[in-house]
Structure 1
Amino acid sequence: MEKLSKTENWLAVSEIQLSYRTSVRTSERPKISSSASAYQILLHAWNPDNIEFVEQFKILLMNKGNKVLGIYEVSTGGISGTVVDLRLIFAAALKANATGIIMAHNHPSGNLTASEADRDITRKVSQAGKLLDIAVLDHLIISPEGYYSFADQGAL
């Protein structure tokens, strides 16, 4: 058996601590009752200077009562796309102790049609959510003038 040298500090490891702090009382959190209410909350959380400039991907984190725990910006990309990392989505959801999420992204062009890449990421995130028991309730494509809901269109 190999002996550890005195220069190896194998006892020096980082402690991982998970916590969720909020300054918003449960009674004051907005409740999502439809894709329209999710759209309104997301639209107000989007920077109006960026919504028609670069593509961004965000998630609404929700508790069992469909009350919003928070919004997490997953990524910001370029004019025609952004990279979505499933690990970042679920790291945020797990840290917030969310039981459901609504995904959202904008198309700077204003086109509200779902692309094949949009459908693919929706499938991937939904499958991963099932493994973690975190429901993917919707995926919205938003613009200042309207939105497309995967759930409303039966595409979820």
Structure 2
Amino acid sequence: MLRYPPVLKTLLLMLLTAGSMHAAMADDDEGGEGWFGSRGGSRGGIASAAPPQYKKECASCHMAYPAGLLPSGSWQHLMGNLGQHYGNDASLDAASARAINQYLTSNAGTYKRVSEMPPEDRITESNWFRRKHGKHVNSSTWSRKSIGSPSNCSACHQGAEQGDFNEHSVRIPN
């Protein structure tokens, strides 16, 4: 039987523990890039690099969704069609649109979960959203007054705007 010096045993134990912690934190299909794998984001949330217009303009009507929830192509499409943004005119001045578009596309999801553009560029229509919520959330849950719709992430995920969608901290309101 091989015998290792105590220092080597300690180092090996530390490496194994660190690897286990990283694997435990990673979700089931995103390759350990953080919850939403965006480049430069804070765990996929609204990064400190987000222009002030992003929260001001986008969060005035809905949650300022973490950029990592959609691929770059979806953000480009959404930003290019703000005059018809899900039935509303969300047009912006050119400078604001340019700054927001740059932020979203630079921090868009790049991992396999968001490798395809969802129908109508809707986060709630993406395959991963349907898989994660379809088996856990009854359709009547979405119609609760306290939730309203599947797009109201922060109703159940209190840390949603910071990119925290950890399933262990979900609290579904009555």
Q: Give the TM-score, by structure 1 length.
A: 0.24
Q: TM-score, normalised by structure 2?
A: 0.23
Which structure has greater strand proportion? 1
Structure with more of its chain in helix, by fraction: 2
